[in-house]
Amino acid sequence: MRKELKDIINKNFFNPNWYSITINPYYIARSGLFKKIRKFSLNEFSGKIILDVGCGNRPYKNLFKNYKKYIGIDIDGGGHSDVAKSADEYFDGERIPFNNESFDVVICTQVLEHAVNPEILLDECYRVLREDGKIFLTMPFIWNEHEVPYDFRRYTRYGHKKIFDQAGFKIEEIASTCGVFGVCGQLLSAFIFEQFNNRNILLRLLISLFFCFPVQLLFVALDFLFKNSWITLDYIIIAKKKI
């Protein structure tokens, strides 16, 4: 039963459905990211080669269809155990081990805050993209320090624009995942969960259901009613390689 419960939690963490709010204490953050990634994945990828930079266990690979090849790269060590990674190649976090113009799409989700030299990594993403290739990148804006000590920065939307411009990209979209109430609700839910969290999976589910769920439900409703993007949990950037 323990394994079954763990599988349920993991499935509803990165790929949340509407009912995942009942058992996922990070639903607001994860659903915001998931909706943006799912929307991007609806583009046409037939015959295209996709590179997932900092792929981890490739939680969003299943969203993409009809691609020619999907390659994941990650670093050795870092904030996650290598056992949990599904990388085809390992790299140093800067120099991507592929030739120029090898990929049609680069995906980089919740990675750039952990890069020692983000400008170099973005330059490398530009290098390995083909002409008119696209990058889809996400990065936290309001979030706790995580994967410590490998958490180095947060960028405003203007910070993102600056480093993407410097790398040579043409930005198509910079979007936020939620507004002020989404931020408040997610931080409060995460605080409650972390205060009472322990290794007992059943207890974790009960905390999520009876404490985190009502908090998140209230603030999701408020975020929907009072739309505001002056503060957010995450930024989503879609950009194209321009020659």
Structural domain boundaries of the chain?
1-26+180-227, 43-179+230-243
DSSP helix, strand, coil percent of the chain (3-state; round to 5): 45, 20, 35
pTM of the model: 0.93
Residue recorded with tokens 């990148």: 137
* Residue-by-residue pLDDT tens, the chain, 243 positions: 566 666 666 777 888 999 999 999 999 999 999 999 999 999 999 999 999 999 999 999 999 999 999 999 999 887 666 677 899 999 999 999 999 999 999 999 999 999 999 999 999 999 999 999 999 999 999 999 999 999 999 999 999 999 999 999 999 999 999 999 999 999 999 999 999 877 788 888 899 999 999 999 999 999 999 988 789 999 999 999 987
Q: In this structure, which long-range contacts are made by residues 54-59, counting pairs with CB atoms below 8 Å and at least 24 apart in sequence?
A: 54/108, 54/109, 54/110, 54/111, 54/114, 55/85, 55/86, 55/87, 56/80, 56/84, 56/85, 56/86, 57/84, 57/85, 57/86, 58/86, 59/14, 59/15
How far is the C-alpha of 120 from the C-alpha of 126, rounded, in Å?
Answer: 10
Residues 6+ apart with CB under 8 A from 4: none
Q: Does the domain formed by 43-179+230-243 have CATH 3.40.50.150?
A: yes
